[in-house]
Amino acid sequence: MLIRERSEKSSSVPTTRGPSGTHGEVVRADADDDAATKAGHAERPGDQGPEAAEPIAIDVLTIEQTITLALGASRGQLQVSALVDLGVRLRGHIALLREPARKAADGMWHGGTEWHRHIARLDGIERQMAQAPSPLPFAALIEVQLMARDCRWLLDGYREGWR
């Protein structure tokens, strides 16, 4: 398990690629694909070269900052553009964290309550990610805050090695 902590400030944020709902493809918003690969972000599955064996580094600090922003979004004026941006960033983070969570579930005993709770939560997160974002400001705020809580659960589990 590889965790990369960011110590310097960067203007790049993980975003999703493509309007078709392919939110599993995370790239850097201001860099080319080669720089994104070196920075530890995933490319499209068909574009991976010999470096594909390396695990993807998960930027814990950036994810925590996004979660904090999303959970505190209701304290100021509701700007739909800011909510859309937070939603896109959270979707990218969830896409990164979902893979280790699925692998952890595969390693659990499939008849236990712990496995059932884990799988049920992951399935719920995936169903939520498959839905289109709401264009209404209040509904978008609620969706972003729910995604932030799901992202927090995934990040906490990732840090703890899925208990």
Q: What is the pLDDT of residue 73?
A: 79
pLDDT tens digits along 49-66: 444 445 567 888 999 999
Q: What is the pLDDT of residue 58?
A: 82
Q: Which residues contact 102 (CB under 8 A, 6 or more apart)?
A: 122
pTM comes to: 0.64
3-state secondary structure of 59: strand
The DSSP secondary structure of 84-129, one letter per residue, reads: HHHHHHHHHHHHHHHHHHHHHHHTS-TTSHHHHHHHHHHHHHHHHH
Provide the residue type at 44 as one letter.
Answer: R
3-state secondary structure of 79: coil
Q: What is the pLDDT of residue 79?
A: 81
Task: Please give the Cα distance from 74 to 80 (Å, whole number).
Answer: 12
Q: What is the pLDDT of residue 35?
A: 37
HSE-CB of 120 using CA atoms within 13 angstroms: 6
Residues of the chain with pLDDT under 50: 1-53
Q: What is the pLDDT of residue 22?
A: 39
Q: What is the pLDDT of residue 56?
A: 67
